[in-house]
Amino acid sequence: MEVKVAKTAGFCFGVQRAVDKVYELLASPDARIYTLGPIIHNETVVSDLEQKGVSVIEEQDLDTLKEGTVVIRSHGVGRRVYEKLKEKGISYVDVTCPFVLKIHRIVEREGKNGSHVVIIGDASHPEVKGICGWCSGPYTVIAQEKEAEEFFPEEGKSICVVSQTTFNYNKFKELVEIL
């Protein structure tokens, strides 16, 4: 039997970059590595990294962290997390996906320009939480048709629509059409 593996099989480049970076950091002797949330939605990889000494922490754990390096995963984080890391002098490596970083810059800029930002995606997803953390003005997260139908922006205000990078494209198009 011949097995063919699709060229696009495996992790997206942003996730692969993040995972590779954590393994690279582990090569340093006495490295104490933390990931801000699981580095990937893949229990096998997360478990392997934990067995090698990587600890998964959450934002509130930064308050008590004294040493080590924090890895910001490919989903990205909001501005407040960077500020906290800098304020506490915590070493960090940012492996946010470049596509996600671009969305951060867009929502920050558009919010400053007075636009109402609409983020199409799952409000509980770490990527969407990170995007929200870069909004510098009003924003709304929409994942369902009903939410899109009930969205009424302020009269005369521009709207900037962005999407969670892993959100279903057909669903995205449907929601934009409703808006």
Which sequence positions are flagged as catalytic? 127
Bridge partners of 34, per DSSP, are: 55, 70
Q: Cα–Cα distance between 113 and 107 in angstroms, integer?
A: 10
Say if residues 38 and 46 touch (Cβ distance below 8 Å).
yes
Q: What is the DSSP letter of 25?
A: H
Say if residues 141 and 132 touch (Cβ distance below 8 Å).
yes
What DSSP string describes 146-162? Answer: HHHHT--PPTT--EEEE
Task: Using alpha carbons, select from 68, 19, 25, 74 the residue that is nearest to residue 48.
Answer: 19
Rounded to the nearest 5 degrees, what angle is found at the Cα of 86, between the Cα atoms of 61 and 135? 85
Task: Using alpha carbons, select from 56, 77, 82, 75 the residue that is nearest to residue 14.
Answer: 75
